[in-house]
Structure 1
Amino acid sequence: MYSYKLNIPAEVHDEFVQSQPQANLLQSSSWAKIKDNWQSQRVAFYKDDEIVGVATILIQTLPLGFTIFYIPRGPIFDYENTDLLHYIVKTLKELGKKSKALFVKFDPAIIYCIHSDQADKTPNLSALNIIQNLQEAGADWTGLTTDLAANIQPRYQANIYANQFHFDRLSKTMKRKIKTARQKNVEIVIGGNELVEEFARVMKKTEDRKQINLRSADYYQKLIDTYPKHSFIAVARFHIADRLTAIQEELAKLKDAETKFTEKTKEAKRLENSKAQERLTEEFVWLQDKYEKENCPDSIPIAGTLNLQCGQVSDNLYAGTDTEYGQYQGSVLVWYETVDYLFKRGYRSQNMGGLENTLDGGLYKFKIQFLPTVEELIGEFNLPTSPFYSLFNFAYKLRKKMRTKHS
């Protein structure tokens, strides 16, 4: 016999979440603290005395006492258990109606299809059955959306799995980029609160480049403070002074070699030496100017990642780079070191975040270099809980469409 309880202890909720194949950060109890501009509610579903499902529900208040329920990447339960599925859907509807919710929106962490050279890209039969069962239970499926902005959470994501990741599997190009960063005085530092300001600086560079608004340093601080034992920031620090010294040393070696050229020295070797001196001199002049404009710092942050963990899985929530220093490959090195750091500590996967649904944009082209599994999720569902649902949903879709058109 099924039953439910509201607001069970956070540790009980989290223990269940972390034990499940669908474990994810957005269903951890602490995520409600991050989204504190919403109200929240935890619900646990039981079969007899055993927990068989949970949901962290975010509740957005609307005028006239109405609300919206949103369950990011949840609820978490065995979706192939049809009886349990129908009970949970029924219960969520009842809870929504009690809170005057217009609808209950949820986007479960169920994989619809794997996209790779090896996979045949056919939909997962289990996912198709789950979609059908949810629809039969009364859920309105928003479908296989084609626009990244059409959903609250990305429908396509890049997930790196520990048992599939190794430096030796990376392409020659990626190995060369990692080597370049290390040789050109880029250092990766991993920490917490002490790196928030540096990370926020990198993210501000990303905002300015993309002409978008992301988050403030206070928000990044909030993430670290809310998940003190399950979070870290990785920053790529570029040591400008050390690089300037290294360039001078390389130029001295080239000039010394040039003095030893004889009539027998091949023209190709002379040309190679000349071009190398020209390239390094140009870099030195450019970098010296940057060094002075930056008030001669020991180092500057040029890339960073912010990572949170839930059980054995991890999510890279934010990442940024200062493309002005792109030739030093800080973004590649900081991502590689982030993944390596997690897997050496026993984590099962690293979610790199969303991708364009067309799988051909800038996010995809960068992230695919790390050999992730590209996962297409089944998307969003709405449970209507009000007579005003259809009208509101039409307005919601129209607003989404207009915002996407002008973004």
Structure 2
Amino acid sequence: MSYLFFKDINQEEFDEFVKNREYCNLLQSYNWAKVKSNWDHMYTGVYRDNVLVATGLVLIKRLPLSFCMYYLPRGPIMDYKDKELVQYYFDQLKKLAQKDHCIFIKFDPAIHVNDYDSKSYNINRYKDTEIYLDTFKSCKAIHHGYTMSIADTVQPRFQSNVYSYENINETLPKHTKRLIKDADRRNVQIIHGQGELLDEFSRLVELTKSRKGVPLRDKGYFKTLLENYPEGGVIFLATCNVYKLNEDAKIKKGKLEKEIAQTCENAKKKLHRLEDQLRSVDKDIKEFKEIFSEFGQENKDIAIAGILSVQYGNTCEMLYAGMDERFKKFMPQFEPLITKVTRFLGTGFYRNF
């Protein structure tokens, strides 16, 4: 068998290869280099007997004194059990690195180790990993270990999953079903789009950034994502019409007041129940009034939460999210999107290297 290594694979061939592999990942797509425009890059690949068998988007960070570092986010893409191929790829990449004064190469392939229920502690979670570690170590790679702190890795090592199946709604926990009903009761709706939703989505991310005190991306970055993934990029917004909710609350308040007035004093149990409902409605009306002070008392939908997602190959990455904390009781994250997007539910995890 003959091998050839290239550092300038064309986009069509590169993406076609990545999209159809087990380890397909958005961060190894051709256009990800355009998103990370503050890094240099190479589109590396290996041909075996004239057939493309490996690719790797290499991001290059320039450092002082003409040095640099190489980073392959969630890559390279290849059969990691093919020890000869892995060895050849990294041997060739290291030759380029030496010429480029690269001080180290970092890579974190998304190798699925195993699944276990989030309520369980799986003591065998690292079984069957030695075959990969032995191969990488033979290339002189240093494994950083199965770290537990998110600060120890660039990409996350745990991922929460819900695997879709028929009639999934019927098997959801009671607590989850109740939260979905809370969202429905407040008439939370889901809309989706691209550039036309950027302003509202960016506003929600800014609110999250301020609340959490963490650095997040801005509108310009989100715009770049959507421009580079025009077919797969999408913004989902959860919206609600507070004006209609307020009108409904006032009607309910009037009915409760009338019913209380018509209830005899001896029906203490019923009176307590009605008075509790009235207090709840009054609290809602007060909160609606505070919202009107910022958004105006208009008959319009207000964006209360959102996510930006990019579909690539057979994967879909939910990259960024934001929420207006004032609407947390509306439970927008539990409004079912059915076929539009996977619901965020923490019922299972799997490990990555």
TM-score (norm 1): 0.81
Q: Are 2:137 and 1:135 aligned?
A: yes
Measure, in 2, the Cα distance between the counterparts of 1:277 and 1:70.
Answer: 59
Q: Which residue of 2 aligns with 1:316?
A: 318
Per the alignment, in what secondary structure is the counterpart of residue 304 of structure 1?
Answer: strand
Q: Which residue of 2 aligns with 1:340?
A: 339
Q: Which residue of 2 aligns with 1:220?
A: 222
1:375 aligns with one of 335, 342, 350? 350
Measure, in 2, the Cα distance between the counterparts of 1:375 and 1:311.
Answer: 20
Measure, in 2, the Cα distance between the counterparts of 1:201 and 1:44.
Answer: 40
The alpha carbon displacement at 1:276 in A equals: 0.4
Measure, in 1, the Cα distance between the counterparts of 2:126 and 2:91.
Answer: 25
Measure, in 2, the Cα distance between the counterparts of 1:131 and 1:54.
Answer: 20
Measure, in 2, the Cα distance between the counterparts of 1:22 and 1:278.
Answer: 54
Query: Does the aligned pair in 2 maintain the 1:115–1:121 contact within 8 Å?
Result: no
Q: Which residue of 2 aligns with 1:31?
A: 32
Q: Which residue of 1 aligns with 2:244?
A: 242
Q: Which residue of 2 aligns with 1:290?
A: 291
Per the alignment, in what secondary structure is the counterpart of residue 311 of structure 2?
Answer: strand
Measure, in 2, the Cα distance between the counterparts of 1:126 and 1:17.
Answer: 24
Amino acid at match of 1:377: N
Measure, in 2, the Cα distance between the counterparts of 1:38 and 1:130.
Answer: 29
Amino acid at match of 1:9: N
Q: Measured at CA, do residues 219 and 306 of structure 1 come closer, stay the same or move farther in structure 2, by a change above 3 Å?
A: same
The alpha carbon displacement at 1:300 in A equals: 2.2
Per the alignment, in what secondary structure is the counterpart of residue 37 of structure 1?
Answer: coil
Measure, in 2, the Cα distance between the counterparts of 1:263 and 1:296.
Answer: 38
Measure, in 2, the Cα distance between the counterparts of 1:283 and 1:274.
Answer: 14
Q: Which residue of 2 aligns with 1:230?
A: 232
Q: Measured at CA, do residues 63 and 164 of structure 1 come closer, stay the same or move farther in structure 2, by a change above 3 Å?
A: farther
Q: Output one character per residue of 1:323-359: Cα deviation in whole Å (capped at 9) or x when no partner.
A: 12111112332xx42x6314xxxxxxx6x9xxxxxxx
Per the alignment, in what secondary structure is the counterpart of residue 325 of structure 1?
Answer: helix
Q: Measured at CA, do residues 161 and 310 of structure 1 come closer, stay the same or move farther in structure 2, by a change above 3 Å?
A: farther
The alpha carbon displacement at 1:82 in A equals: 1.3
Q: Output one character per residue of 1:356-380: Cα deviation in whole Å (capped at 9) or x when no partner.
A: xxxxxxxxxxx5x353x411111xx
Taking CA–CA contacts closer than 8 Å with sequence separation of 6 or more, which of the two structures ends up with the larger relative contact order? Answer: 1
Q: Output one character per residue of 1:141-160: Cα deviation in whole Å (capped at 9) or x when no partner.
A: 11111210111111212234
Measure, in 2, the Cα distance between the counterparts of 1:169 and 1:31.
Answer: 38
Task: Identify unmatched segments of 5+ residues in structure 2.
Answer: none
Q: Which residue of 1 aligns with 2:259?
A: 257
Per the alignment, in what secondary structure is the counterpart of residue 319 of structure 1?
Answer: strand
Q: CA RMSD in A?
A: 2.0
Amino acid at match of 1:270: L
Of stretches 169-178 and 222-231 in structure 1, the one that deviates more from structure 2 is 169-178
Q: Which residue of 2 aligns with 1:83?
A: 84
The alpha carbon displacement at 1:163 in A equals: 4.2
Query: Does the aligned pair in 2 maintain the 1:3–1:45 contact within 8 Å?
Result: yes
Amino acid at match of 2:339: D
Q: Measured at CA, do residues 125 and 88 of structure 1 come closer, stay the same or move farther in structure 2, by a change above 3 Å?
A: farther
Name whichever structure is richer in helix by fraction: 1
Aligned residues: 350
Measure, in 1, the Cα distance between the counterparts of 2:88 and 2:164.
Answer: 35
Query: Does the aligned pair in 1 maintain the 2:63–2:69 contact within 8 Å?
Result: yes
Amino acid at match of 1:216: D
Amino acid at match of 1:227: Y
TM-score (norm 2): 0.93
Q: Which residue of 2 aligns with 1:14?
A: 15
Measure, in 2, the Cα distance between the counterparts of 1:165 and 1:6.
Answer: 47
Query: Does the aligned pair in 2 maintain the 1:111–1:377 contact within 8 Å?
Result: yes
